[in-house]
């Protein structure tokens, strides 16, 4: 698909092709996951994430449906082929995570993310609490969480997904924030000037 799914991230999908209606129905009946890999320029990225269906709704008479999926685990796609149902099946290897990180980099990345959220979303998106235990104990990746809403393009999201170490992902995002934050701040400054210029049109 033309998207990148991170572990623990949630995405809405509209399922309308017969092959995917069949696949999703099978996964839900059997309680198993399916995989999502980025397809770009007719190339399938080897690193993807398993997903499970959290919710199914708006089921139409023709079988089309809206679903909410949640990412679970990263994997490497070793080989794949087209099934008789029309969707790809393959052999995968789950990837190990290294959850250790430098606290200074962690706090700096979170601080930058929260500033970006303030500037871009104007209080409509909840900021990250750096004291949340799920970030500290590594049960969830703060870098993957930040990647969902900080403006990375598809290729940048895929690059981040392919990094095994949380510390390296934090460094990747810190470099990104160093590039993008001055632009965000300047755009916000211009927006404030425009909104308060006093003119009527």
Residue 193: its pLDDT value, please? Answer: 53
Of the ranges 24-28, 45-49, 151-155, 180-184, the best mean pLDDT one: 45-49
The per-residue pLDDT for range 23-39, each reduced to its tens digit, is 999 999 998 899 999 99
Residue 162: its pLDDT value, please? Answer: 98
Please tell me the pTM assigned to this model. Answer: 0.88
Domain 103-195 architecture: Up-down Bundle (1.20)
Q: What is the dihedral of CA 164, 92, 4, 147, to 10 degrees?
A: -20
Lowest mean pLDDT among 103-107, 178-182, 185-189: 185-189
Write out the CATH class of domain 10-94: mainly beta
Domain-wise residue ranges, the chain: 10-94, 103-195
- What gap in Å lies between CA 130 and CA 106, rounded to an integer? 8
Residue 194: its pLDDT value, please? Answer: 46
- What gap in Å lies between CA 98 and CA 140, rounded to an integer? 12
Residue 192: its pLDDT value, please? Answer: 61
SS (H, E, C) 116-165: HHHHHHCCCCCCCCCCCHHHHCCCCCHHHHHHCCCCCCHHHHHHHHCCCE
The per-residue pLDDT for range 53-107, each reduced to its tens digit, is 999 999 899 989 999 999 999 999 999 999 888 899 999 999 999 999 999 999 9
């Amino acid at each position: 698909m033309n998207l990148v799914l991170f572990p623990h991230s949630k995405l809405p999908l509209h399922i309308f092709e017969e092959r995917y209606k069949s696949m999703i129905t099978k996964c839900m009946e059997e309680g198993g996951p399916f995989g999502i890999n980025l397809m770009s320029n007719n190339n399938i990225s080897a690193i993807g994430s398993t997903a499970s269906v959290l919710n199914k709704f708006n089921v139409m008479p023709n079988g089309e449906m809206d679903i909410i999926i949640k990412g679970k685990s990263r994997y490497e796609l070793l080989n794949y082929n087209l099934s008789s149902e029309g969707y790809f099946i393959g052999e995968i290897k789950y990837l190990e995570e290294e959850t250790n990180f430098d606290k200074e980099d962690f706090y700096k990345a979170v601080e930058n993310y929260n500033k970006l959220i303030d500037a871009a979303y104007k209080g409509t998106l909840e900021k990250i609490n750096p004291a949340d235990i799920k970030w500290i104990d590594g049960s969830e990746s703060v870098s993957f969480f930040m990647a969902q809403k900080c403006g990375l393009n598809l290729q940048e999201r895929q690059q981040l997904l392919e990094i095994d170490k949380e510390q390296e992902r934090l460094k990747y995002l810190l470099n990104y924030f160093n590039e993008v934050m001055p632009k965000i701040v300047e755009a916000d400054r211009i927006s404030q000037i425009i909104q308060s210029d006093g003119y009527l049109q």
